Amino acid sequence: MKKILLVYNPVSGHAAFKNRLDAVIDSFQRRGVFLSVYRTCADDNSAFVEYVKAAGVEGVIAAGGDGTLHAVINWLKKNSIELPVGVIGSGTSNDFAAHLQLDDEKLFDAVANDRTRPIDLGLVNDAEYFINVASAGVFTSIAHEVDARLKNFLGKSAYYLRGLGELKNLKTLQLNIIADEQKFSVEVFLFLVLNSPSVAGFKKLSDAAQIDDGKLDFLALKKCSVSNLATLAKKILAGDSVEGNENIFSLQAKTFEISSSAKLTSDLDGEAGSLLPLRIKTLKHALNFFC
């Protein structure tokens, strides 16, 4: 019988996953998969690693939002534990799960049949991995600034309410970028380094971003007027790609060095990252993903 570790975040997405836990266990058991269950808590790294090694599992499923998936991948990769990973999107923000368009039953079948695909990861400053997006600038720190109680109560609306409060603070920053040894300088409000095209609930910010092409996609919102910003926002809300827009600076590369004179904290998959400058590498096919 296949043995899989289910890691769930008890507070993600209205703390609702615990009400689904029995049904998920039943679905896996009917497919001949035994679940060992791990409940996340603060400062989990060493406890998680010990648990994985003791459990002797053949894969890990993260049940939670992008932050939970981010944590699980970092716990595994930083401890050289090479196991396939899957996700049950049950958090406030589930961008990577949304990109895969993978419902629970398909995921359960993929795990039971050991069906995986190799995907890329980003590595920041040789220290922290991300699976979906690295970012910095206006709006990008909202995910880790929103109070957890407000986020659990209001869901994604909490991010948008917090974002409205940032409008009065719109300031540009001068970015210096080296992408695969090519140098660029641009004045922007924010930037995103994407693995998938799905970010902040919007499913197709980039036409080019693919999770297994060995490259990451850089998008930056350039300095522009409020009216141009409003027009671009309408395009994003309509679900359109922003590539090709005159207010967007975009490029694709395997490596990036991003610096600014401004003091900026990065955001990795919705979690607080390191201060700029950032050195970002694409790790091609670094993770096998159940899908």
User: Mind telling me the catalytic residues?
Assistant: 271
Q: Strand 248-253 and strand 85-89: pairing?
A: unpaired
Residue with tokens 């035994």: 34
Residue with tokens 């924010």: 190
Task: With H, G, I as helix, E, B as strand and everything else as coil, classify residue 195.
Answer: coil
d(CA 196, CA 73): 16
Residue type, 85: V
Q: Determine contact, residues 252/217, Cβ cutoff 8 Å.
A: yes
d(CA 281, CA 202): 24
Selection from 212, 227, 216, 205 nearest residue 284 by Cα: 212
- Phi, psi torsion values for 132, nearest 5 degrees: -120, -55
Report in angstroms the alpha-carbon separations of 189 from 132, 252, 254: 20, 19, 23
Residue with tokens 């600038």: 137
- Phi, psi torsion values for 165, nearest 5 degrees: -70, -20
d(CA 257, CA 123): 12
How many Cα atoms within 13 Å fall on the side-chain side of residue 235? 17
Burial class (CB in 10 A: 0-12, 13-18, 19+), 259: middle
